A and B are shown apart, each in its own frame.
Chain A
């Protein structure tokens, strides 16, 4: 009896340990596959031609620069939407709203995070782009702007929940100290609480941006998918083509092992590395902030 119990415990513990390591396994596996299918690009395409400004794969033009700028401009636009609204909402929920309002708002924001991207894309091209075209007098409403607005909406719940946690985590003593010194609640929020939660809020923004850069269906349905080099401010009001939409739109047609196939995996690799970079930056911010806090408290 004793022996079988120990043996079961042993096996289960081993399984649990293995599960723990599985996350690393999957990340490595994903990276491995992306690299395995993406690296052959360099055997078949001139590395410098990847930096061309024309993307027309069926005729051998593999310039990914327009795709990168497309993703960038939509993401930056999304950030401009998600950051103020996300942080503002987080501040409202955590510092200003009465308790009953919090209980309503928090689930509502979470709901936004659950809306499928294809539904938002669907409404986007049925309702949002025509509206933008008429309202802003543009040639077409299928633009980076439409994508940014929707992506901002998708990123907001991430920003709100992480930022709100960060603001919540600021010890009450900070606020009370400020009030005791005569500061108004408003002044306290912006001069005391917010700076104290700064690293958490930064993490929230980075995670939200990470979410935006990775969106696929929504951008594929509303940004027009034109592979233009988006480097001017006005590009926000023109159609663009993102890396994610390119993969989704073209992956189905490629023959296994063709050059186009490899280039698409290469783009996937680029996306993976970008999100890796953002995440490492985000966690190092938190890490460094923790160390600073430890120094202060000790």
Chain B
């Protein structure tokens, strides 16, 4: 019987804990290794010219400015469409909706949006925005595609944030005569803002790093100038990394790692900001 010999149980625990601990570190170590490796390999390529210049010589020299700017444009574009819509939807689910079949359908829809493969979003974006609505391969089409992809992340984290605001806040506000919307806008939203912001940044971080949705909707191999209208196509960091690591012969390996590093830094900075916002909000929280 297992429990009969106390020594066996504790030995089992020792072994088990060690195994699990090792497992956890085995999961985390590769992450750290990847980041450090790219840092070491890519740092030599980083210079002011790399970050602010245009590519030359068939993109084998010079900088990656258009890709950096392109990614920024796409991220901003995604934010413009997905943030207001996502937060509004979250407000609906948290403050207005009751547990009806319709609400449950909405939730299932959100979970489904979250699970759709990124390349299927690309197909959808191609079919709807590029072809049907005739936006062409453009920042607009790519941003719209990315925003629908980002929507579920923003909605779920925002909703969770709103829900965590104690009901007492709302009841007090209503009892003082405020309307529902005033309560939401001035009290609930303000308290939930850090959590919402975290979700937004994490969602945008994912959008910034995605390649498949922009493959057929907005990404370009090489553009001689920066995009000037939302209807222009654009270069973008993830697509640029893909292209220079697979399409261009004699591409110096350093530039590849340098581009990977810039993308990584971009994404990780967003991650860092989100984490900092979240922990500071948690510390300041009054409930």
Chain A positions within 8 Å of B, measured between CB atoms, are: 5, 8-9, 12-13, 15-17, 19-24, 26-27, 29-30, 33-34, 36-37, 84-86, 88-89, 91-93, 96-97, 105, 107-112, 114-123, 126-127, 153, 156, 160, 182-187, 207, 210-211, 213-217, 221, 244, 247-248, 251-252, 256, 264-265, 268, 271-272, 275-276, 278-280, 282-283
Contacts and interface: CB of A to CB of B under 8 A. Distances in A.
A186 B13 contact: yes
Interface of B: 3, 9-10, 12-13, 16-17, 19-21, 23-24, 26-28, 30-32, 34-35, 37-38, 85, 88-89, 91-93, 96-97, 105-124, 126-128, 131-132, 148, 151-152, 155, 179-182, 202, 205-206, 208-212, 215-216, 238-239, 241-242, 245-246, 256, 260, 263-264, 267-268, 270-271, 275
A93 B24 contact: yes
Contact of B112 (A9, A244, A275): A275
A16 B120 contact: no
**Which one of B123, B128, B239 has the greatest number of beta carbons of chain A within 10 Å?**
B123
A85 B115 contact: no
Contact of B93 (A20, A86, A216): A20
A216 B117 contact: yes
A20 B17 contact: no
Given A16-B91, A156-B27, A107 B241 contact: no
B13 A207 contact: no
Nearest to B85: A19
Contacts of A89: 23-24, 27-28
A23 B88 contact: no
A212 B179 CA distance: 45
Given A118-B209, A119-B264, A247-B119, 14 more contacts: A20-B106, A33-B124, A37-B123, A92-B20, A105-B28, A108-B31, A114-B205, A116-B211, A121-B242, A123-B37, A210-B115, A252-B216, A275-B112, A282-B111
Which of A19, A84, A278 neighbours the largest number of chain B CB atoms within 10 Å of its CB?
A19
Contacts of B115: 207, 210-211, 214, 275-276, 278-279
Nearest to A214: B117
Among B10, B24, B215: residue with most chain A CB under 10 A: B24
Query: Per DSSP, are chain A's interface residues mostly helix, strand or loop, or mixed?
Result: helix
B183 to A, nearest CB: 11
A272 B16 contact: no
Nearest to B13: A186
Given A22-B89, A26-B148, A111-B268, A248 B17 contact: no
A114 B239 CA distance: 16
Contact of A216 (B13, B212, B264): B212
A293 B122 CA distance: 40
Nearest to A106: B275
The 5 closest A-B pairs by CB, nearest first: A214-B117, A116-B209, A20-B92, A19-B88, A88-B23
A96 B21 contact: yes
B105 A186 contact: no
B96 A13 contact: yes
